[in-house]
Amino acid sequence: MTAPARRHGRLFWRIYLHGLLLLFLVALATASVGWALRQGGSFHERGSGAASYAASRVAELSGEPARLRDELARWRESFGLDASVYGPDGALRATSVEPPLDPGLAESPPRDRPVRLRRHGFGRAVPLADGGLLLIAGGPREPDPLRGLAFIGAVLAALALGSIPLARSIAAPIERLTVAARALGSGDLSARAGVKGRGEVGELGRAFDEMAERLERLVRGEQELLANVSHELRTPLARIRVALELAAEGDVDRARRFLAEIGTDLDELDRLVEDVLAAARLDLAAGGGPAWPVTRARVDLDVVLAEAAARFREAHPARTLDLLLPESLPAVDGDAALLRRLVANLLDNAAKYSEPPAPVALAAGARDGGIELEVRDQGIGIDPDDLSRVFTPFFRTDRSRARGTGGVGMGLALARRIAEAHGGTITVESTPGRGTTFRVVLPASGVSGAPHD
């Protein structure tokens, strides 16, 4: 199947439009120089005709110096032309400008051509019929080729300077990304690119920073996991050591009592290891790795909830569990053992973060073609800043650390993975000091969104 054409992003259009702008400026510069040269050519052609007319008028008035001076004055006033007339002997006959135009011509006889006049720039030398010379300056002038070259050079310099901001805007964020990537690769988990902007480079920078933040949380979580598991192992190991010492001393009764406590501790450790392994396998399956061996079958949620409630009451005999359940619930498609673990983890979490005699409530009901489960407690609650992270692996709030409730922060993470593996969702609402409610919504059996083999 042919892949859909990808639309160009802002970076592409910035570079493309900048290139068009450069081309436009170069074309404008070239056109300007060409226009100036064409203007110069047309003036030269017009200048030849005007010079012939001026020479004929001077010849007509050569015998009348007063009228000749008036005619030159009229040229100056009407056309902005300065003129000086010299006789065959080089003597000045008439002029409309002071000092008179003086070409300092070396050639003899002179010919009609553009010349450079002293103190007046370019002008025109027109030979007269009687051997005299008419000098004209002002009006349209012949273009100076050096000016055209200087103009082109200035335009090119402006283009070179104008390209610097674009090059900097593209290179600077990429250089920051390179520095941050190298720092992260060398072990600095706090390295961030800090690239801002709304284009593709800005999105790349934000994606890099988000990746670095997730990586930092993952590594910190793994370090925390090792620390927490080590802490959880200390209690049963200490009890095993004490029991062995008592048995060695011959105090069998006390050693037997310790063995019962050791069994409870080992059950907790076994559950902890199972949670970590289950979450890891579900993550692998979601990421395309080896599939988790989930048994897909029609599950009776009434039985699952009853078994989870019985286990909770057995593990926490001093706690009150309120069941708010209908007579029957719709069935779901999934794995009964995993769903039982989901509910058990939520109930255990409620027991950890609330104190007797405050009850824990388990409620369920049908809703919009699915089943909604709720586990509510009246415990310490969760800070608003921590709500978005409670389902993150190995995350434990500061309140839970202060209480010393144990655990490694995997129970809620596993609950979310189980809910998502069954096509459902899990959310949390909490008020510090008043309690927390976890809400799970699962699709009923045969409803769109329910998982299938």
Using DSSP's 3-state secondary structure scheme, residue 439 falls into strand
Q: Is the pLDDT of residue 433 over 70?
A: yes
Band of residue 109 on the pLDDT scale cut at 50, 70, 90:
very low
Band of residue 309 on the pLDDT scale cut at 50, 70, 90:
very high
Residues 261 and 328 in one domain: no
Asked if residue 164 belongs to a domain, the reply is: no
Specify the pLDDT at position 3. Answer: 47
Chain mean pLDDT for the chain: 78
Contact 339, 299 (CB under 8 A): yes
Specify the pLDDT at position 264. Answer: 74
Residues 271 and 303 in one domain: no
Mean of pLDDT values over 308-328: 92
Residues 44 and 120 in one domain: yes
Strands 360-367, 321-324: pairing is: parallel
Specify the pLDDT at position 365. Answer: 94
List b or e across 131-162, with b for residues whose CB sees 16 or more CB atoms inside 10 angstroms: ebbbbbbbbebbbeeeebeeeeeebeeeeeee
Residues 331 and 385 in one domain: yes
Band of residue 96 on the pLDDT scale cut at 50, 70, 90:
confident
More confident residue, 255 or 286: 255
Structural domain span for residue 415: 297-443
CATH of the domain at 349: 3.30.565.10
Sign of the torsion angle spanned by Cα atoms 321, 326, 331, 332: negative
Asked if residue 180 belongs to a domain, the reply is: no
More confident residue, 78 or 232: 78
Question: Which residue carries 């593209």 as its tokens?
Answer: 170
Sign of the torsion angle spanned by Cα atoms 449, 271, 434, 401: negative
Structural domains of the chain, count: 3
List b or e across 435-452, with b for residues whose CB sees 16 or more CB atoms inside 10 angstroms: bbbbbbbbbbbebeebbe
Residues 130 and 264 in one domain: no
Q: In whole angstroms, what is the distance from residue 204 CA to residue 197 CA?
A: 10
CATH of the domain at 134: 3.30.450
Residues 226 and 304 in one domain: no
Band of residue 42 on the pLDDT scale cut at 50, 70, 90:
very low
Q: In whole angstroms, what is the distance from residue 152 CA to residue 36 CA?
A: 12
Q: Give me the sheet containing 360-367, strands edge to edge.
A: 321-324, 360-367, 370-377, 435-443, 425-431
More confident residue, 52 or 306: 306
Residues 224 and 132 in one domain: no
Q: Is the pLDDT of residue 323 over 50?
A: yes
C-alpha gyration radius of the chain: 48
Per-residue pLDDT tens for 344-353? 999 999 998 8
Q: In whole angstroms, what is the distance from residue 266 CA to residue 437 CA?
A: 29
Amino acid identity, position 306: A
Specify the pLDDT at position 44. Answer: 41
Range among 8-12, 47-51, 153-157, 213-217 with highest mean pLDDT value: 213-217
Contact 121, 141 (CB under 8 A): yes
Specify the pLDDT at position 40. Answer: 47
Residues 268 and 324 in one domain: no
Asked if residue 234 belongs to a domain, the reply is: yes
Asked if residue 158 belongs to a domain, the reply is: no
Q: Is the pLDDT of residue 368 over 50?
A: yes
Per-residue pLDDT tens for 183-207? 888 888 888 888 887 777 788 888 9
CATH of the domain at 214: 1.10.287.130
More confident residue, 55 or 104: 55
Q: Give the pTM.
A: 0.51
